[in-house]
Amino acid sequence: MRTIGHFIDGVESNGHSTQFQDVFNPATGEIQARVALATPADLEAAVASAAAAQPKWAATNPQRRARVFFNFVALINRDMQELAELLSAEHGKTVEDAKGDVLRGLEVAEFVAGAPHLLKGEYTDGAGPGIDMYSMRQPVGIGAGITPFNFPAMIPLWMLSPAIAVGNAFILKPSERDPSVPVKLAQLAVEAGLPKGILNVVHGGKDVVDGILAHDKIEAISFVGSTPIARYVYGAAAQNGKRVQAFGGAKNHMVIMPDADMNKAADALMGAGFGSAGERCMAVSVAVPVGEGTADRIIEALRPRIEKLKVGPASDKASEMGPVITKASQERIKTLISSGVSQGADLVIDGRDFALQGYENGYFVGPTLFDHVTPEMDIYKEEIFGPVLCVARASTYGEALNLVMDNPYGNGTAIFTRDGDAARDFAARVNIGMVGVNVPVPVPLAYHSFGGWKASAFGDLNQHGTDSIKFWTRTKTVTARWPSGIKDGAEFQMPVMK
């Protein structure tokens, strides 16, 4: 059986690991590999490798570092099909969806090839008598990323690309559920010219996470996962004096105004609600039609689309939606669907009994649609992270807006309308970090920043865009005066620029 090791100092190996975890094929339920779980000695080896390599990498001029990323991008493009198939086999999403996972991460690697420009500081000539002032951005040293199972290519690339491009070394702790792609990306980075030790990958659970949070040589940490764990990571890392950004869960709403094109809105809900089996932090899990007529029309438009949705394994090119990641996830989603029924929601389409011949042991849940969902129900309050779409009817635009704003999460939201005034008002007033206008999944492109509000994000700086350059660097400001500008005698008053 294939064993997936750590990637430390440019080499994949099991290191000191004595424990291993099974990696399943979600479509069949079969064990397809095992992954080594790091010991404290493995984490120490990764940190030591990073610490030895980082000073020379930081001293490498930014343009030369950028060339490594040009090569890295080319290699990812070269191996795109292999990466997508590897990702699909462990995660369960379709191959085309997996390619999108890789591509959205690739865009950030492309963006940080412009780091030489992004790292330019500021300069003021003659700020005072004989005084010049300038600022520079310098790497923090060693950074770490803790990433979830649902995007095993995209989110690691979102973290490691800016961190490394600005001169840091990086330790990646990916999900142990689908660990192969992060190791493959590290191998490609070394092939692209990245010095050994600058990117290390260690696998493991909470003990490894806690080791990262406490390690005195790790200066900055980026995390993506559930809100309870994001809170924990943020608090523990901050208490240990580290810079930290921690991104949590979501409950994303899509408001549908009466003037919206119902066919386009329904198509948008299908992709946003059921793409990747709903296992996206930006998935739309709540549709909010304004008015009873709008609600009836969107349900009418959704029903035949859901009934025709092709659910199957990634190996079937006709599949539009695959399984969820684990048996435990499958059971949790089914339990939440049952709670929706018992708490009074109307179950329009039930995916609990979905079965696929030849894949009876796979972790499939059929697409599920609820109507008349209300905020006190568990299916509304919890992030289901599965192919379940809830319709929560609103009588007015104001009621719909308040429903979105009252939710504790603030990752993404969207409005579908032809009314520019409504769209502009919604975008301006809603307390959500990412907003789509006739765009159901408003994930920004790499040169803008990604991040939510409220219980969806902890920390001041977002992922990718210029925020990522700021997060992975520290600003140093220099005030310089040369002998010709220095007066004789001590100065005891507060310095001022006259």
Scored b (16 or more CB within 10 A) or e, 262-285 reads beebbebbbebbbbbbbbbbbbbb
Query: Which secondary-structure segment (H or E) carries 22?
Result: strand 19-25
- Contact between residue 185 and residue 157 where contact means Cβ atoms under 8 Å apart: yes
Residue by residue, DSSP assigns 230-259 as HHHHHHHHHHTT-EEEEE----EEEEE-TT
Name the region of 405 (left: φ>0; alpha: ψ -120 to 50; beta: rest).
alpha
**Could you tell me how far CA 316 lies from the centroid of its own chain?**
27
* Positive or negative: CA dihedral 376, 378, 384, 387: negative
DSSP state of 10: T
Q: Would you say 389 and 343 are in contact if contact means Cβ atoms under 8 Å apart?
A: no
* DSSP 8-class letter at 443: P
From 312, 307, 409, select the one nearest 367 (Cα to Cα).
307
Please give the Cα distance from 395 to 133 (Å, whole number): 58
Residue 390 bears catalytic tag:
no
Is 149:175 a contact under the CB 8 Å cutoff? yes
Judged by DSSP in three states, 146 sits in strand
Give yes or no for a contact between 417 and 423, defined as CB atoms under 8 angstroms apart.
yes
Tokens of 247: 């991104």
Name the residue among 269, 239, 266 with its Cα closest to residue 253: 269
Q: Which residue has the tokens 């304004």?
A: 290
Q: How would you list the strands of the sheet with 131-139, edge to edge?
A: 123-128, 131-139, 473-481
CB 444 within 8 A of CB 463: no
Q: Copy the structure tokens of residue 5.
A: 């090791």
Pair of tokens at residue 280: 């996206």
| CA atoms of 372 and 365, how far apart (whole Å) | 21
Distances, alpha carbon 327 to alpha carbons 37, 323, 361, 457, in Å: 21, 10, 9, 28
- When computed from its CA atoms, the radius of gyration of the chain, rounded to whole angstroms, is 25
Catalytic residue among 281, 306, 373, 401: 281
Residues annotated as part of the active site: 281
